Chain A
Amino acid sequence: MNNLDLARWQFAVTTIYHFLFVPLTIGLSYLIAFMQSVYVIKKNEIYKKMAIFWGKLFLLNFAVGVVTGIMQEFQFGMNWSNYSRYVGDVFGGPLAVEALIAFFLESTFLGLWIFGWERLPKKIHLACIWLVAIGTTISAFWILLANSFMQEPVGLAIRNGRAEMTSIWALMINKQLWVEFPHVVFGALATGSMFVAGISAFKLLRKQQTAVFRPSFIIAVVVSLAANLSVSVTGHDQAQHLMKTQPMKMAASEALWETSGDSAAWNIVAGIDTKNHENTFEIAVPGLLSLLAYNKFEGSVPGIHQLQDEYTAKYGEGNYIPPVKTTFWSFRIMVLAGTLMILLSLYGVLTIMRRTLDKQRFYFRLMVPAIALPFIGHTFGWIMTEVGRQPWVVFGLQKTPQGVSPTVTAGMVWTSFLGFTVVYAILAAVLVFLFVRYVKKGPEEEKPHGHDESPELVPV
């Protein structure tokens, strides 16, 4: 592999890995803030226990999220220096604003929250976790603002041989941002709530600490239903927006080689032959793609060949077709994960309403592995978004190969890529091990301060 391929792989690994932790951080922070609010307002000690228990898992996850985020920010300069030079004037700003407004807020108030249970007045301590939650969301806003610029560059002019910002306001009201940001935040809430629901189900199956885990499950499954429904609504908005701004991504995610007739069918599955630019078979629902694209059963959707010709006319000779199979299948995996989450949470909410929740052993057993669903969903969602934009790194402005660092050698990227990947693998293993151990142990029984391990007076 050359340095470009390696840099692409490293970007993919760094970003996907980092984004396993980010949505869990955002989602859990709101759930914990809610639980602690109930404790402070209703003075119900059970909710304090809940906040502390989920808080411990939150902190483990947060730590890994933070350290992998540093690489996320610095890899643009390391592996993509030409990209950084070309769009840094527009793209660098949001990253700096994210650090200034969000990172300081999150890290400082999280420190206060962890160490402040005994030292701060209850309401101020509660405010700390809310500020953390708000901080995570501000962080999401600014980094997605930067990503939205890559999908739909606005508020810039090409001057002095680079992209220069002409309006921060245009970047902030970017249409793409306002379909992407809610989709991600609801996705994060779905992640946090499916995680809490799955672990609570695990404990309820064993009838352990049900006083804590039964209400946890109920809160989580209700939030999960609302969040997952919102994810699908905002996802639909995003697809419609895609039709206008990146039709090639849409065509690729449908493996639609030729422009459709007046009513476009939606392929459930297809055999894709990328060599001959055709599908060997298709199982399709008539009219559904038109519905996705235009909210009605009519309307032609442009195909890959037509768009390739249009882009060639507009941007010059070149291959403008993204990896079709990857885009097509990532989209379907994401949608499937989302659909399963909606069904599972809907079923949960129904059992709560019918007061039959406590009999649902099989359902609880399903909810444990279902913890993987949100992670599968957003991983493939990002793969579709980023792979489907290729060959562009910033749509219409710069192609990915032009952005790579010219003097960083393949050997250097290999070293850092392998180094980080090994470290990431170790972190993941340790984290899962600690999660499982901590969950099995459950919340502390009335030890005064919620330690996890009692200190031993042993010489080291």
Chain B
Amino acid sequence: MLATVWFVLITVLFIGFFFLEGFDFGVGMLLPFLGKSDVDRRVIINTIGPVWDGNEVWFITAGGAMFAAFPNWYATLFSGFYMALFLLLIALIGRGVAFEFRSKLPSKAWRSTWDWIIFFGSVLPPLLWGIALANLMRGVPIDASMNFVGSFWDLISLYSVTAGVSMVLLFLLHGSLYLSLKTVGTIREQSGKVALGVGAWTTVLMVLFIVLSYFETDMFTRHGVDPGTVPILAGLSLFSVWYFIRSHYMGWAFAMTGVTIVLSTITVFMSLFPRVMISSIDPAFDLTIYNASSSPYTLKVMTIVAVTTIPFVLAYQIWTYWVFRKRISPTDHLEY
């Protein structure tokens, strides 16, 4: 019972991470392209400046929660997807310090270098996350003692790369809509245009991913929980983005990419449940919420902590977005 609760809570943490850091990854990807002058770049960075670090904590917490609630899941996933995680951490390290370092020298070359680190540090994580999720859904070689026995290259396939690219595009779309909501003038107009172009490609890739999932996973044979209308609604919300952008309802368009992210994440986790990692060697070797979880006592303690703290976290993070709700203009005072 509590193991199910924790499966849901970890899903929630990933939803929070993908929804929130989704747009700040997208903004990071757009930085070198939409920022034509140094002030423009600072405007773009400042749209996420006060919040990106808090967004990233959703991921760190998801990792910690996995360790606490499903030690075997954490151990298998992190030692198994070793090289992917290594690349992810390098990307996040570069990106994290780049935000702090880039404005400390006036040199153009200095700033441009860090801006490109922000770009790559924003593209690589969603690409790797897409690849990781596709492999979670499809199954990876896991032996009887729960150890991953494949290599990094086993994780790379047409299917997983499609998932990675769709995730990059979805975050780019999410980020460009966020940027159009947080800026004025040229940047706002251009991010709207980017959203329209990227939206089409995101839809194409997502559809391709779903088609491939039919062949590559057991999602449609219902080993997990029947996701019912959830993936259909995810698809519909993605289609509606196009309509909202065309009608200049950017707020709605952003909300709809958010809904797409939330519902897609839910679909992935539902298709897994009650498994947390699928073994491609033998279904008997699958990691499930039963054989991977912590003891009932630990889960109880963790539930009490999570249930009492998450509402506060949500409250003060929402408050932060409220404090910084204004659009950012190049003529404003800009914090560097």
Contacts and interface: CB of A to CB of B under 8 A. Distances in A.
Contacts of A13: none
A7 B74 CA distance: 17
A434 B56 contact: no
B61 A104 contact: yes
A77 interface: yes
A449 interface: yes
A453 B336 contact: yes
B301 interface: yes
Contact of B92 (A70, A90, A97): A70
A453 B103 contact: yes
B320 interface: yes
B298 interface: yes
A406 B93 CA distance: 27
Interface in A93-146: 93, 95-101, 103-105, 107-112, 114-120
A173 interface: no
Contacts of B99: 63
Given A100-B64, A112-B323, 19 more contacts: A77-B74, A89-B294, A92-B298, A100-B309, A104-B316, A108-B54, A111-B49, A114-B49, A114-B50, A164-B298, A165-B297, A405-B75, A408-B82, A420-B90, A427-B97, A430-B97, A434-B104, A452-B336, A460-B115
Contacts, number: 261
B39 A77 contact: no
Interface size class, chain A: 35 or more
A233 interface: no
Interface string A429-456: 0100010011000000000110111111
A412 B99 CA distance: 29
**Residue from B82, B103, B320 with most neighbouring chain A CB atoms (10 Å):** B82
A84 interface: yes
**Residue from B61, B71, B103, B104 with most neighbouring chain A CB atoms (10 Å):** B71
B149 interface: yes
Given A66-B53, A84-B75, A457-B38, A101 B309 contact: yes
Contacts of B226: none
Given A67-B96, A85-B72, A423 B67 contact: no
Contact of A438 (B36, B69, B104, B149): B104
Nearest to A110: B53
Contact of A74 (B85, B115, B295, B310): B85
Given A92-B64, A99-B57, A164-B298, A111 B82 contact: no
A452 B104 contact: yes
A434 B101 CA distance: 8
Given A67-B96, A77-B77, A84 B82 contact: no
B104 A99 contact: no
B298 A104 contact: no
B177 to A, nearest CB: 21
A159 B295 contact: yes
A421 B57 CA distance: 24
Nearest to B103: A453
Contacts of B68: 88, 92-93, 95-97
**Residue from A89, A116, A119, A458 with most neighbouring chain B CB atoms (10 Å):** A89
A453 B78 CA distance: 41
A77 B298 contact: no
A434 B42 CA distance: 19
A438 B316 CA distance: 32
A84 B71 CA distance: 6
Interface string B312-335: 010011001001100000000111
28 contacts: A63-B96, A63-B99, A68-B93, A79-B79, A84-B78, A90-B298, A92-B66, A95-B67, A95-B68, A96-B302, A104-B54, A111-B49, A112-B323, A115-B49, A115-B50, A120-B323, A159-B295, A164-B294, A165-B297, A166-B297, A449-B333, A452-B104, A455-B38, A456-B106, A457-B37, A458-B37, A460-B32, A460-B111
B146 interface: yes
B103 A119 contact: no
A57 to B, nearest CB: 11
B37 A460 contact: yes
B306 interface: yes
Given A164-B297, A460-B108, A455 B336 contact: yes
Nearest to B143: A407
A412 B84 CA distance: 11
A407 B71 CA distance: 17
A69 to B, nearest CB: 8
A427 B100 CA distance: 12
Q: Which 9 A-B pairs have the closest CB atoms?
A: A88-B71, A77-B78, A92-B67, A111-B50, A96-B64, A92-B68, A63-B100, A96-B68, A81-B75
